[in-house]
């Protein structure tokens, strides 16, 4: 809400080998305060993020499961590159240092489902344990599919979200080669990500995790836990058109299906947390999709991209942004799109430029996640009414 940017110069040993040297890293995270030395030999950075986020969520929900409930509880997580740090360290040892031996636990550290597996083991969740890898929509789909598990009666409680830690030399060089990363703002590194602005130049990579506790409403009310919102609508679909180019038609279809699932009209949506990556084509296509799906209401509803502050967490970004939308709903306050000083005429909606808005009344919010590969996901939450 304060509009503070987490984007900065990257402080990593390899930074001089990069052309783009900005990111949104977590710099105040000390694994030793959360895990023992023995635990750290088998828990990769992205899994560490997931475990800490899940602990916060479980404590916030005051979640407890008795022995008869464990088989009705599960975990769905999203991640794109999983244990990227371990993979890169192994490549360096083998190909650069000609070391025939790497960490014995490298496979277990780097596998994409490691974070979800650690959560399942820690909380003894014996229900479904699935990891989704659908690029930028991974964690949004994880949350949506966890919601379906509960709605259709397969589970009562689900931990759902995403984790990512891909700020490695190899991953960042790969993104540099794709030419989608933002150029550093000459005056302020924190102002480099500029969604919906005429002078936008691309996305900024971030890292982190977000985990939600999803629970059957009757069970949650019996426990007397704090309920942030009702997850009311979800849809996922494929553009089926291009591996990188976004398609407003596919996005529109996903939004409309999510609204139908939530049994809501466009006018019911009070805030949209946009995918808003600050790529040239992406922001324009999402603007077209919002107009096509919300009609005249698209010009009235506040829309913002919090990626302007926390960067693009790839597999974790959908969960982080849905969490932002939930907190907007709870606090009746809308976070801004910072760095939007020169609006793109083709992005002509209310993008909450530069300053958040408090004191608004919200009944329902929507979060968009649109990924490479054409994988779209939309989540809708509404104020909980017992």
Tokens, residue 225: 């836990």
In contact, 352 and 317? CB cutoff 8 Å = no
* CA angle (129 as vertex; 124, 130 as ends), nearest 5: 155
In contact, 314 and 171? CB cutoff 8 Å = no
Which of 118, 275, 288, 310 is labelled catalytic?
275
Q: In this structure, how many other beta carbons lie within 10 angstroms of the beta carbon of residue 255?
A: 27
Q: What does the alpha-carbon distance between residue 1 and residue 314 come to, in Å, rounded to a whole number?
A: 22
Contacts of 144 (CB under 8 A, 6+ apart): 234, 235, 236, 377, 379
The one-character DSSP state at 135 is G
Closest CA to 193 of 337, 355, 44: 337
* Active site (annotated) includes residue 136: yes
Angle, in degrees to the nearest 10, between helices 280-294 and 248-262: 40
Which of 136, 193, 236, 347 is labelled catalytic?
136
Which of 193, 288, 312, 347 is labelled catalytic?
312
- Give exposure, 140-179, as e/b (b: 16+ Cβ within 10 Å): bbbbbbbbebbeeeebbbbbbbbbbbbbbebbbeebeeee
* CA angle (217 as vertex; 213, 222 as ends), nearest 5: 100
* Active site (annotated) includes residue 80: no
Contacts of 235 (CB under 8 A, 6+ apart): 144, 254, 255, 257, 258, 260, 261, 376, 377, 378
In contact, 346 and 282? CB cutoff 8 Å = no
In contact, 47 and 115? CB cutoff 8 Å = yes
Closest CA to 88 of 103, 67, 71, 68: 103
Tokens, residue 136: 């930028």
* Active site (annotated) includes residue 275: yes
CA distances from 106 to 93, 96, 110, 112, 191 (A): 12, 17, 6, 12, 37
Give the residue numbers annotated as catalytic, written as ranges. Answer: 136, 275, 312
């Amino acid at each position: 809400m304060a509009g503070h940017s987490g984007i900065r110069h990257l402080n990593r040993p390899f930074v001089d080998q990069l052309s783009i040297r900005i990111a949104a890293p977590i710099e105040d995270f000390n694994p030793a305060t959360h895990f023992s030395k023995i635990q750290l030999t088998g828990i990769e950075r992205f899994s560490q993020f997931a475990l800490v986020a899940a602990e916060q969520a479980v404590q916030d929900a005051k979640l407890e499961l008795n022995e008869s409930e464990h088989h009705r509880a599960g975990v769905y997580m999203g991640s794109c590159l999983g244990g990227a740090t371990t993979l890169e360290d192994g490549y360096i040892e083998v190909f650069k240092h000609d070391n025939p031996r790497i960490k014995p636990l490298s496979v277990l550290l780097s596998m994409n489902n490691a974070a979800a597996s650690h959560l399942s083991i820690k909380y003894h969740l014996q229900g479904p344990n699935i990891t989704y890898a659908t690029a930028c929509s991974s964690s949004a789909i994880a949350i949506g599919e966890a919601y379906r598990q509960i709605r259709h009666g397969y589970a009562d409680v689900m931990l759902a979200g995403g984790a990512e830690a891909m700020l490695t030399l190899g991953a960042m060089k790969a993104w540099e080669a794709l030419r989608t990363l933002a150029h550093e703002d000459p005056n302020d590194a924190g102002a480099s990500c500029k969604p919906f602005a005429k002078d936008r130049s691309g996305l900024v990579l971030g890292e982190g995790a977000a985990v939600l506790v999803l629970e059957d409403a009757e069970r949650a009310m019996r426990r007397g836990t704090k309920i942030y919102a009702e997850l009311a609508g979800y849809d996922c679909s494929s553009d089926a058109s291009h591996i990188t180019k976004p398609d407003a038609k596919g996005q529109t279809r996903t939004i409309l299906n999510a609204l139908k699932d939530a049994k809501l009209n466009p006018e019911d949506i009070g805030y949209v947390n946009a995918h808003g990556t600050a790529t040239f084509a992406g922001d324009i296509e999402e603007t077209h999709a919002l107009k096509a799906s919300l009609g005249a209401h698209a010009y009235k509803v506040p829309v913002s991209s919090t990626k302007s502050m926390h960067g693009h967490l790839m597999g974790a970004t959908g969960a982080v942004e849905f969490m932002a939308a939930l907190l907007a709903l709870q606090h009746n306050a809308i976070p801004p799109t910072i760095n939007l000083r020169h609006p793109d005429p083709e992005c002509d909606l209310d993008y909450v430029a530069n300053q958040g808005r408090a004191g608004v009344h919200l009944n329902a919010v929507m979060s968009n996640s649109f990924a490479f590969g054409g994988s779209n996901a939309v989540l809708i939450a509404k104020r909980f009414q017992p």
